[in-house]
Amino acid sequence: LKLELFYGKSSILKAYANHAPFGGNIVGICAASWRYYGRSPWQLSWAETAALAVLPNNPSAIFPGKNEETFLRKRNQLLEKLSDRGYLDADELYLAKQEPLPRTIREIPDEAYHLLHRAMVEGKSGTNIVSTLNAQLQQKVAEKVNQYSATWAGNQVHNAAALVIDIQTGHTLAYVGNSESKGDHGQHVDIITSQRSPGSLLKPILYAAALDEGLTMPTQLLPDIPIFYKGFAPQNFDKKYRGAVPSNDALISSLNVPFVHLLIDYGYEKFHQKLSQMGMRSLTHPASHYGLSLILGGAETSLWEITGMYAGMVRAYQNFGGRPYQKGYSPNDYFPNSYLSTQKNTDEPVLEEHGYLQAPSIGFALRTMQQLNRPDQEAGWQFFNSSIPIAWKTGTSFGFRDGWAIGISNNYVIGVWMGNADGEGRPGLTGVQAAAPLLFQLFDLVQDEVQFEKPFGMAQTVCKQSGMRAGPYCSETIMLPLPEYLENTQTCTYHQPLHVNKEQTLQVNSKCYPVAEMQTVNWFVLPPVEAWYYQKHHPEYRKLPPFDPDCTTSNVKQLFELIYPRQFTRVYIPLEQDGQRGKAIFEAAHQNKEAILYWHLDDTYLGLTQGTHQMGIQAANGPHVLTLVDNQGNELRQKFEVIN
């Protein structure tokens, strides 16, 4: 009576069901349902429910495998009572009695353990939750992850994680927070929410953002030369420089140096803000804390976060131009992933004229990510490449600690991480070698390809060599559809008209050469440093002809340039092992490989170089002026400062 005074009958029944004994130290209807039948209570049949209902009466005397005749009789008696009260008809009663009793105690399923633990940490403990997981896909993805992770154990790489996201809803369809492995290797750590260095995974976002600003065209050349910027000296993965490389090829090959140059032009402060808008909540420090390293993995993120950002990009691209968007953008396209079916991700779109990223720019990035030509450091990709076309990008953190792969199809974003939970790096632990093969295996499970439409815009004439809008001196052009905001970008600055002699071996002018014999040709001209590296990879490159000795020119920068130091660079000269101050190696490039350079420091002659222009220089602390003079009398002066 006291219980009924304070609680309703449904509450009392619920409390009883959750605390009743079901034999074998099994307590509660949910635990009994899973241990005896391997599924939830609401999925049980009448016969299964009746069998569990009679167990609490005497769980020590009757339970599966003990006194089965008594157990069967009690169950059938309860079924007959249910039939007498109209819950079962004669046929249903007959079929229910034919069902067997449970004979063994099952293991409780351990699917999506890390997601369950996450839900508990996020305040869902003690409540019934309905996840967005696809049970069948979850099991298959977990199986693939465990099998694949085991193949890397021999290289002391013990952990893997994978995430499958539905693009339009943001729902999580598969969540494998870590792989199962032998021994204690941090399998309990949920890698999906762990903050890790993403390596190159942000490059497609910068590529699209730079297109938005008109800082580059889809195939425009970016410099790939040594860079020394405020103490930051990035290198490409293969430690090579190509001089100049098309921006789309730089993305396909995941080259670091061109993207650092691009970030300098775009501004790391603006890029920091862009990433925050798109959902990179892990940016807890100001932009100055990360600097240019932001594009090379200097800011940590999680698999959960980065897949959500890419899903937002694709939503913005797919939704643009459709109802109710028409020609507008909605910031609501960028929302976090969710794992609860009751969680509402989308709000009514608030349309804006400009999105965080413009749809055509996203389209160019996605189509570039579809290209199958991969660089040398990604050799072997063709052996695991899926037959299903997708857009994909890999990332490798400094020290080979994290291998990432993100793939995009029409309906799904799949993210894969490989590494060690404790952060230990291992040789060969790169995105393409460690993570990409698993990514393609998972796309084989979902069987969903990518068919992104061509970028929006009218066909425009583009210089084939420079990738810029064609200028009057471009000799070869192609047609490329460009959005309106790229139609007024700068025309090609690389092709220049040159006045040369009739053999086209020397530059001349009317003061030193007969006008009747002079030829005017359009010449593809790279800056000296870019040209010096470019010609190593492009033997077809025609170097700028030298000037006729009888002619003069004041265009020194076109002839030669310092690779290091750049203007106003601060130079640190380290101590050698013997305690003496060492030398800084300065380097220059000249268009004429036969040229001689005379080096001077603060008007003191140092020596000359020919062919390879490198000079070891000792200098005291403070500002200095380096002067280079070539054998034609052309002079270049550069200021720098020594700090020891």
> Per-residue pLDDT tens for 280-304?
999 999 999 999 999 999 999 999 9
CATH homologous superfamily for 2-98? Biosynthetic peptidoglycan transglycosylase-like (1.10.3810.10)
CA 75 to chain centre: 57
d(CA 171, CA 458): 36
Torsion sign across C-alpha atoms 305, 307, 310, 314 = negative
Rounded to the nearest 10 degrees, the angle between the axes of helix 68-84 and helix 46-54 is 120
Walking along the chain (644 residues) 10 residues at a time, the average pLDDT comes out as 73 83 84 88 92 81 77 92 93 94 81 91 84 95 96 94 96 96 85 96 98 95 86 85 96 95 95 96 95 94 98 91 66 91 68 84 93 49 62 93 96 97 93 94 90 77 96 93 88 91 88 88 89 91 85 66 83 74 87 85 84 89 89 81 84
Beta bridge partners of 581: 575
d(CA 92, CA 340): 36
Quick one: which of 628, 631, 633 has its CA closest to 614? 628
d(CA 573, CA 399): 26
- Phi, psi of 129, deg, nearest 5: -120, 150
339, 175 Cβ separation under 8 angstroms: yes
Q: Tokens representing 509?
A: 């002018």
What pLDDT is attached to residue 529? 82
Quick one: which of 225, 208, 513, 175 has its CA closest to 357? 208
CATH homologous superfamily for 556-642? Immunoglobulins (2.60.40.10)
What pLDDT is attached to residue 213? 93
Quick one: which of 299, 302, 310 has its CA closest to 333? 310
d(CA 133, CA 111): 10
What pLDDT is attached to residue 362? 94
Q: Tokens representing 417?
A: 């991480």
Per-residue CA distances from 636 to 115, 226, 494, 544, 556 (Å) = 62, 19, 22, 18, 7
DSSP 3-state percent helix, strand, coil across the chain (nearest 5): 35, 20, 45
Please tell me the number of Cα atoms within 13 Å of 468 on its side-chain side.
Answer: 19
CATH number corresponding to 193-446: 3.40.710.10
**Which SS3 state, helix, strand or coil, does residue 129 take?**
coil
d(CA 518, CA 551): 13
d(CA 3, CA 6): 5
Quick one: which of 433, 402, 427 has its CA closest to 160? 402
626, 637 Cβ separation under 8 angstroms: yes
DSSP 312-324: HHHHHHHHTTSTT
What pLDDT is attached to residue 321? 66
Residue with tokens 């403990």: 125
Domain with CATH 3.40.710.10 in the chain: 193-446
Domain with CATH 1.10.3810.10 in the chain: 2-98
**What is residue 14's DSSP assignment?**
H
What pLDDT is attached to residue 375? 42
Per-residue CA distances from 163 to 103, 180, 407 (Å) = 37, 16, 11
Cα first-last separation, the chain = 88
d(CA 279, CA 290): 17
d(CA 434, CA 416): 9
Per-residue CA distances from 326 to 78, 184, 317, 320 (Å) = 62, 54, 12, 6
**Cβ density class 577-612: b for 16+ within 10 Å, e for less:** eeeeeeebebbbbbbbeebebebbbeeeebeebeee
Quick one: which of 542, 571, 570, 546 has its CA closest to 558? 546
Length of the chain in terms of residues written:
644
Bond preceding residue 545 cis, omega within 30 of 0: no
Domain with CATH 2.60.40.10 in the chain: 556-642
Q: How confident is the model over 81-95, as pLDDT tens digits?
A: 999 999 999 999 999
E strands, 157-242, are 159-166, 172-176, 221-224
d(CA 575, CA 486): 50
Please tell me the number of Cα atoms within 13 Å of 543 on its side-chain side.
Answer: 23
